[in-house]
């Protein structure tokens, strides 16, 4: 049987960094035990050390990017393997949860650190592996009965002793960049500092978009309006969907939005969530991205989220607009 032809996704310009992929998940193979047995001996394996925060080995590319280190199936001992899918040339790709050892030219990193530096194939592989692995680690026992579960369907389900199945879950969450709708350098966006975030090296405080989980019975759009009101106490004039990406810490799907609000509204901060919020001009945001902005009033260095996050993507898209 020939594999189904996949569309050419190209570089997918304008895509959030962890939404990029060229992986064919080949879901029709997950129950094909004979095919899987052969694929396990001829495929490649991405080793992710979930106990160490989800680290995998990468090599640095001359262009400043990074590339995942994939091992031949034959080079690894017997272990529980989860089938990710097929590479562009039809090679089966698996992932395992096991320790990784850095060596000459190979460093152990998390998806947070290098997601934006990987090419489309590796970004998709690492994101899928981290999300799937985190689900397996938290579902070794059935939440209904407490009985142990075992892997079925090549890692895409788990079954209890009675054969009742559980499938990987994803928790929807919203994240929004609120701005004033003004074009050009004088336009401003709203960023907050989460009360739980520690101060970084050299006293740097990180500011990011507002975010929160979509509650049961709630639309993504309604959750944006609610979360902004709850966290900083302001209302929105409009909002627009901007894209999504997985955030496997441990298993969220981040739904990104841009929203417009009146910056003259006073803040009413929820101190358990946001302990500081400001409107930043495009000029200031550009300096924060360059890594050299210090607030002139407080003398505090300020930074943005890591480049692999959808928060950075939303801010960068607004800056370019």
User: What's the Cα-to-Cα distance from 25 to each of 4, 16, 78, 132, rounded to whole Å?
Assistant: 11, 20, 23, 13
Contact assessment for residue 181 and residue 264, using Cβ atoms and an 8 Å cutoff = no
- Examine the pLDDT at 4 and tell me if it is beyond 90: no
Predicted TM-score of the model (pTM)? 0.92
- State the pLDDT confidence band at 75, using cuts at 50, 70 and 90: confident
CA distance 171 to 16: 18
DSSP string, 211-227: EEEPPTT--HHHHHHHH
Name which of 46-55, 73-82, 151-160, 161-170 the model is least confident about: 73-82
How high is the pLDDT of residue 5?
44
- CA 119 – CA 130 distance, rounded (Å): 16
User: Whole-angstrom Cα distance, residue 171 to residue 223?
Assistant: 13
Percent of the chain with pLDDT over 70: 95
* Sign of the C-alpha dihedral computed for residues 101, 104, 106 and 108 taken in this order: positive
């Amino acid at each position: 049987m020939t594999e189904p032809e996949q569309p050419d996704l190209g570089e997918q310009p304008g895509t959030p960094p962890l939404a990029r992929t060229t992986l064919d998940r080949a879901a029709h193979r997950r129950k094909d035990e004979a095919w899987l047995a052969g694929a396990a001996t001829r495929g490649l394996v991405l080793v992710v050390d979930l106990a160490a925060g989800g680290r995998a080995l990468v090599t640095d590319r001359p262009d400043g990017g990074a590339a995942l280190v994939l091992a031949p199936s034959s080079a690894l001992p017997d272990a529980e393997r989860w089938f990710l899918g097929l590479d562009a040339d039809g090679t089966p790709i698996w992932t395992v949860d096991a320790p990784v050892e850095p060596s000459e030219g190979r460093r152990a990193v998390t998806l947070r650190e290098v997601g934006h530096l990987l090419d489309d194939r590796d970004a998709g592989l690492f994101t899928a592996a981290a999300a799937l692995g985190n689900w397996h680690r938290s579902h070794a026992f059935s939440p209904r009965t407490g009985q142990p579960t075992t892997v079925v369907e090549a890692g895409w389900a788990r079954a209890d002793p009675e054969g009742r199945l559980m499938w990987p879950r994803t928790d929807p969450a919203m994240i929004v960049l609120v701005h004033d709708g003004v074009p050009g350098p004088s336009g401003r966006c709203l960023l907050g500092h989460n009360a739980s975030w520690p101060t970084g090296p050299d006293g740097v405080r990180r500011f990011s978009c507002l975010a929160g989980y979509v509650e049961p019975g709630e639309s993504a759009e309604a959750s944006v309006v609610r979360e902004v009101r709850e966290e900083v106490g302001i209302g929105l004039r409009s909002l627009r969907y901007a894209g999504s990406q997985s955030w496997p810490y441990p298993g969220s799907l981040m739904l990104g939005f841009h929203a417009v609000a009146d910056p003259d509204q006073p803040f009413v901060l929820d101190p358990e969530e946001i302990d500081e919020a400001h409107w930043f001009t495009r000029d200031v945001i550009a300096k924060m991205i360059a890594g050299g902005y210090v607030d002139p009033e407080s003398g505090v260095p300020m930074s943005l989220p890591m480049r692999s996050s959808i928060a950075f993507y939303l801010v960068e898209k607004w800056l370019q607009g």
